[in-house]
């Protein structure tokens, strides 16, 4: 493996280059609790370009419009016109008392595979990237190259070549003093921030093991769209992007990455040395390669850090099963239990028990805070760049999929230097995109 070039760094080089993440995290942590003051009304107006108008994207668009007193939706890009129309209709209804917030005339509604570039070229200041993750590296690169601030939903890539591209964009964004902010929502909640500060300050002693779960239902998306009412392979797969690894990364990368992000957070964002993961497909409806693509429906990962700490992550998308989204950190002096959604953030079995309590009337909404703090940092001339940590989290999740698909133990260096490029070459609407077979551990090769 070529580990000594800029695009193929070793684990040690990766960690060395990531030291600036602490600075960005410190700025973010100090800006918003317990109250937040958005940009003053007389601040310069910031124009937002929005790329990707699906459900999460529309939610993020509303949150970004609420995050600052002087922003406006300026341009929108999508591969499908119906999504632009539905997304903007939703925003206009939500902001009916402030119609000036949604200022997107027909000439700034862009449709097609190149719509993202037209949004970037439209004169916007900030770009909101909420497309399917397979496009994220390309879109981040184009935004940073053009000097735009970026909010990008997670994950940041679905394979190692894409991740290496994002790493280069992170470096360029720092050089250009651009905001590059992620949608790993639990990093932006004050309950979690307080809890992990306790863990890092030694409240449970030295960490010995970490457990996380993301057990949920089957996530049956896009019932309207199927192979019969879409015209090409690409339209079909884009309409049902979740079920194809080149677009989603599989659910351990697209969804359960939130829990994997908290594993990394526990370990102060030091990535694991290696991973062994199992998984499979038992309950997806229909035949593999059909409407539900070729992704798995369960994963079980064991991560090992160089200091010997073990991290265990379990994810499942199967209906009529036990559901949970929990985190448990075991230490030499106590145990922390957390549950996504703020229901439980507590240190137990410790000499200093602790439970998160929100100040009276305080709303702890990470989906809002991530945008608020981004705009506050831009206004302050100190744009947040969380790229180092979100690259680590993204690759840690990809490691699990690589291991489960191949049956191999995957080291950090193997994952980082992988040559498996899942993105189709010369992509057009007529590109033939056969669905890969469901990965078979022991037979599927590591590339």
Q: What sign results for the dihedral spanned by CA atoms 34, 213, 392, 355?
A: positive
Residue 427 resides in a domain: no
Question: Within this chain, do residues 339 and 201 fall inside the same structural domain, yes or no?
Answer: yes
Question: Within this chain, do residues 255 and 178 fall inside the same structural domain, yes or no?
Answer: no
Question: Within this chain, do residues 260 and 339 fall inside the same structural domain, yes or no?
Answer: yes
Tell me the backbone φ, ψ of residue 174, rounded to 5 degrees. -65, -45
Residue 430 resides in a domain: no
pLDDT score for 351 = 83
Residue 407 resides in a domain: yes
Residue 93 resides in a domain: yes
Question: Within this chain, do residues 199 and 242 fall inside the same structural domain, yes or no?
Answer: yes
CA 257 from chain centre, in angstroms, equals 7
Question: Within this chain, do residues 90 and 143 fall inside the same structural domain, yes or no?
Answer: yes
pLDDT score for 346 = 82
Residue (of 214, 206, 213) closest to 335 by Cα position:
206
Residue (of 287, 283, 286, 285) closest to 297 by Cα position:
283
**Does the pLDDT at position 8 exceed 80?**
no
> Which domain, by its residues, includes 405?
194-359+393-416
Residue 2 resides in a domain: no
Mean pLDDT computed over 252-279 = 97
Question: Within this chain, do residues 204 and 336 fall inside the same structural domain, yes or no?
Answer: yes
Question: Within this chain, do residues 47 and 79 fall inside the same structural domain, yes or no?
Answer: yes
Residue 433 resides in a domain: no
Question: Within this chain, do residues 208 and 111 fall inside the same structural domain, yes or no?
Answer: no
Q: Determine if the pTM surpasses 0.75.
A: yes
Residue 295 resides in a domain: yes
Most confident of 29-33, 288-292, 360-364: 288-292
Q: What is the pLDDT of residues 389-405, one digit of tens each?
A: 999 999 999 999 999 99
Question: Within this chain, do residues 162 and 230 fall inside the same structural domain, yes or no?
Answer: no
Mean pLDDT computed over 93-122 = 97
Q: What is the pLDDT of residues 25-62, one digit of tens each?
A: 434 333 333 333 444 544 799 999 999 999 999 999 99
CATH code of residue 258: 3.30.360.10
Question: Within this chain, do residues 152 and 50 fall inside the same structural domain, yes or no?
Answer: yes
For residue 210, give the H/E element and its range.
strand 207-216
Question: Within this chain, do residues 171 and 252 fall inside the same structural domain, yes or no?
Answer: no
CATH code of residue 142: 3.40.50.720
Mean pLDDT computed over 63-77 = 96
The radius of gyration computed from the CA coordinates of the chain, to the nearest angstrom, equals: 21
Query: What b/e string do you get for 296-332 counting C-beta neighbours within 10 Å, with b at 16 or more?
Result: bbbbbbbbbbeeebebebbbbbbeeeeeebbbbbbbe
pLDDT score for 26 = 36
Residue 122 resides in a domain: yes
Q: How confident is the model at residue 23 (pLDDT cuts 50, 70, 90)?
A: very low
- Chain-wide mean pLDDT for the chain? 90
Question: Within this chain, do residues 42 and 139 fall inside the same structural domain, yes or no?
Answer: yes
Instruction: Name the domain count of the chain.
Output: 2
């Amino acid at each position: 493996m070529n580990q000594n070039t800029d695009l193929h760094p070793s684990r040690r080089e990766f960690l060395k280059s990531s030291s600036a993440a602490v600075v960005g995290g410190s700025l973010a942590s100090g800006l918003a609790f317990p109250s937040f003051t958005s940009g003053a009304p007389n601040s310069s107006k910031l124009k937002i370009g929005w790329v990707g108008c699906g459900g999460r994207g529309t939610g993020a668009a509303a949150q970004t419009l609420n995050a600052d007193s002087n922003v406006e939706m300026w341009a929108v890009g999508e591969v499908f016109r119906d999504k632009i129309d539905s997304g903007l209709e939703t925003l206009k209804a939500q902001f009916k008392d402030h119609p000036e917030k949604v200022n997107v005339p027909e000439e700034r509604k862009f449709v097609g595979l190149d719509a993202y570039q037209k949004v970037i070229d439209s004169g916007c200041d900030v770009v909101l990237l909420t497309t399917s993750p397979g496009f994220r590296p390309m879109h981040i690169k184009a935004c940073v190259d053009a000097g735009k601030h970026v909010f990008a939903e997670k994950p940041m890539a679905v394979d190692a070549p894409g991740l290496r591209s994002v790493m280069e964009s992170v470096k360029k964004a720092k050089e250009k003093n651009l905001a590059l902010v992620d949608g790993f929502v639990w990093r932006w909640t004050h309950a979690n921030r307080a809890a992990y500060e306790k863990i890092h300050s030694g409240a449970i002693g030295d960490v010995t093991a970490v457990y996380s779960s993301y057990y949920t239902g089957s996530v049956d998306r896009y019932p309207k769209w199927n192979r019969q009412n879409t015209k090409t392979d690409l339209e079909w797969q884009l309409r049902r992007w979740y079920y194809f690894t080149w677009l989603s990364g599989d659910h351990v990368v697209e969804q359960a990455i939130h829990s994997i992000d908290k594993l990394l957070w526990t370990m102060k964002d030091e990535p694991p040395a290696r991973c062994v993961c199992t998984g499979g497909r038992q309950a997806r409806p229909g035949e593999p390669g059909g409407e539900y693509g070729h992704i798995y429906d369960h994963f079980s990962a064991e991560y090992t850090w160089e200091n010997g700490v073990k991290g265990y992550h379990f994810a499942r998308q199967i209906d009529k099963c036990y559901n949970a989204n929990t985190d448990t950190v075991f230490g030499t002096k106590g145990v922390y239990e957390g549950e996504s959604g703020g229901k439980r953030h507590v240190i137990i079995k410790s000499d200093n028990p602790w439970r998160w309590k929100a100040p009276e009337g305080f709303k702890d909404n990470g989906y809002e805070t991530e945008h608020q703090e981004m705009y506050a940092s831009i206004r302050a001339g100190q744009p947040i760049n969380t790229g180092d940590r979100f690259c680590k989290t993204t690759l840690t999740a990809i490691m699990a999929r690589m291991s489960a698909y191949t049956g191999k133990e995957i080291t950090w260096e193997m994952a980082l230097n992988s040559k498996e490029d899942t993105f189709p070459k010369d992509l057009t609407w007529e590109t033939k995109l056969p669905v890969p077979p469901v990965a078979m551990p022991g037979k599927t090769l590591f590339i």
